Amino acid sequence: MIYYFYRDAFSEVYTYRYRLTDSEDKLKITVRWPGTGPKAQPETIFFENAHGERIAHLNWEDRSWWQGDRFQLWEESKGQAIATIEEHWTIVDRMLLHLPRYRIMLAGGNQIEARGSRYSAQFYEIFVLPADPEESAGELGVWLGEIIHPPTGPTYVVRTESPLLIAAPLLLTATIAVMDLWGLEKVKEL
């Protein structure tokens, strides 16, 4: 399955909207937020389906620079958080200007990790981590998909054959919005 992720109405100050489409360019999800001032990041962003109905929102929790930011993805129909996205850096990542890693903890207990690379064909690769925390330290996880940043066309292209990611376009959209809106801005500041 291929998804296209577009950054619309981009300016040097801030982005106005994101949208996710399928391989046939049919709109799946739109991401919006209230207007913010220059260089400000929104504390809450909203997700709408193709009909303009709000389906979820993402709350931003600013933590220390060492811990990285944390985001709670809330589905409107359930009224509870369905996932937590945490930004992870190591001191080596910061020194070598690596992109941050993102750990996505689903409400059911599963964990997904997106690992970035500035210099490979894949901008980010997505892995599911082992359920046992002791195993996750030594194992890379099972590859689920990739996020590519093409030179032309959509801002990002997501490729996956994983039923978990195909069934969760909201989770993919939230993760990519966080990567683009928060992660890349931090890397530019370094």
43-76 pLDDT, tens digit per residue, is: 788 999 999 999 999 998 866 655 678 899 999 9
Q: What CATH number was assigned to the domain covering residues 2-189?
A: 2.40.160.200
Closest residue by Cα to residue 179 from 128, 111, 109, 123? 123
Token output for 8: 């619309």
Regions of the chain where pLDDT drops below 50:
38, 187-188, 190
Domain residue ranges of the chain, discontinuous segments joined by +: 2-189
The model carries a pTM of 0.83
Closest residue by Cα to residue 186 from 88, 74, 73? 88
Q: Is residue 166 within 8 Å of 160, Cβ to Cβ?
A: yes
The pLDDT of residue 29 is: 96
Task: Give pairs for 144-152: CB < 8 Å, separation 24+.
Answer: 144/112, 146/122, 147/114, 147/122, 147/123, 147/176, 147/179, 148/121, 148/122, 148/123, 149/123
The pLDDT of residue 38 is: 47
Token output for 62: 């600013």
Q: What is the pLDDT of residues 17-26, one digit of tens each?
A: 899 999 999 9
